[in-house]
Amino acid sequence: MLTPRQIRIGWRLLALLAGALYPLALAPFDLPLFGIVSAAALCALLKDTSPRETFLRCLAYALGLFGVGASWVYVSIHVYGQAPPPLAALLTALFVITLALSMALPFTLYGTLLRKNNPLVVLFAFPSFWVLAEWLRGWLFTGFPWLYLGNSHVDTWLAGWAPIGGVLALSWMAAFSAAALAQAGNLRHRPSGFAAGILLTCLLWLWGSTLAEKQWTEPSKSTLSVALLQPALPLEQKWDQNALSNILDIYAEDTEKLWANDLVVWPESAIPELRHRVDHYLNWMDERASQQGSTLITGIPTQQGSTLFNSVIVLGEGSGIYHKRHLVPFGEYVPLEQLLRGTIRFFDLPMSAFSGGADQQPLLRVGNHTIATAICYEIVYQDLVASTAADADILLTVSNDTWFGTSIGPHQHFQMARLRALENAKPLLRGTNDGITALIDSRGVVQAQLPQFERAVLSGEITPRTGSTPFNRFGSWPVVLWSWVMVLLLLWVGRRKSEV
């Protein structure tokens, strides 16, 4: 016969397994039902547990979630950061544990004051705690807004809510659906909770399908022909100074065939050299683009005084420069630099001494159109993108997902980019070094994309759009505040009941 301790361990292992299944909801697997079932399992496992047991079960769940969903971090650290396997495994484990704690700690309150409440209370408490945990993860320690439950619903009926409340609104509704499903365990004793949950879930999903038909922005009268160059350069070659001349020749040769397009896009850090050191080359490309009536946008590191930026510049029939605002720790700058620099090669990656750009920067211009830009990792920050998207006609993100290798990372990254187009109801251009390069319309639908790891060009047309969505104006705050109100209200009600 099992002891109570063995039973508790068994429940924690079940929570670990449930969390490990969660990433199947996201790209590249794209099985959103797994996310709801996984979250429903957690909701059921947290029923009537002590605060300590709530924390431990949620921690086990989160370890499974991030251990599988963020496994690509090991690839970045070991394969491309050249850290030895034991060290890469240790750093990845510390990363996963930190993320798991950021999810488990908020749910401790759930176990403290809400574990004795009825199913109707759980229906609103569980999704609110879930969203607050995601929101916390989005800014704590510079933020990791990855693996959100809402990301898995870019193609479901819930997607209609994205232009209103963004990805966190989708997360709340999906978690609500999970809480409703979890009430099936109470069907015999409290059928009203299950019935109410299913009824409200159906309402949210059906309403979302109706909202998906709404046109939040207006299309321009003319289209823009674009060409996105995917060079598929190996990372070891990209930062080899002896290969710079060859790299410049590759871009010039491939672009010469593309000047008939209104816009040509090169990926992040396409030119792996500071701007002022390749002025002659850039002036030549600027002249060629102007002669052909075309515009070229490229990623390139720039320098102002002693400050380095990860930038995007416009050449030819356009104007503007954008400096990346939200940098990747260790990849683009090293926290505690004086202590860590030189200890291992991972802390000395090429171009890892950047500074962040100003919060307010002019939009890029291509002819009469304006472009809001996000470089690589920035595209996962929904509010950062929304802050500039309202005044833009087109969204652009350039990236170098080579750091993820053949892992699931690039697919998750691409899925989040699609959601940014949907939230802001603007077309999005995604140019990368080796995939996933794509044209995405204002509904987040992929119009065309290139295979990964192939040197190729993606050509097509996009329709710029003007106007804004509610999410442009208010961002994630309405959903975050709603979640806080729900939590505080339910905590207050729970405390009043305990005092009676």
268 is catalytic: yes
Contacts of 444 (CB under 8 A, 6+ apart): 154, 155, 159, 162, 418, 419, 421, 422
Pairwise CA distance, residues 323 & 35, whole Å:
36
- Spacing of C-alpha 263 from chain mean position: 26
- 3-state secondary structure string across 317-373: CEECEEECCCCCECCCECCCHHHHCCCCHHHHCCCCCCCCCCCCCCCEEECCEEEEE
Helix (H, G, I), strand (E, B) or coil at 3: coil
Radius of gyration of the chain (CA): 24
Q: Which long-range contacts (CB under 8 A, 24 or more apart) does 308-313 make?
A: 308/274, 308/351, 308/353, 308/354, 308/355, 309/354, 309/355, 309/357, 310/268, 310/269, 310/351, 310/354, 310/375, 311/275, 311/357, 312/268, 312/364, 312/373, 312/375, 312/396, 312/398, 313/275, 313/282
Name the burial class of residue 2, with classes exposed (0-12), middle (13-18) and buried (19+) by CB atoms within 10 angstroms of its CB: exposed
- Identified catalytic residue from 58, 238, 376, 426: 376
- Identified catalytic residue from 134, 268, 332, 423: 268
Pairwise CA distance, residues 401 & 379, whole Å:
13
Residue 344: phi and psi, rounded to 5, are: -140, 165
- Identified catalytic residue from 43, 238, 324, 426: 324
- Cα within 13 Å of Cα(68), Cβ side: 18
Q: Which of 223, 275, 222, 226 is nearest to 248 (CA)?
A: 275
Residue 396: phi and psi, rounded to 5, are: -135, 135
Active-site residues: which are they?
A: 268, 324, 376
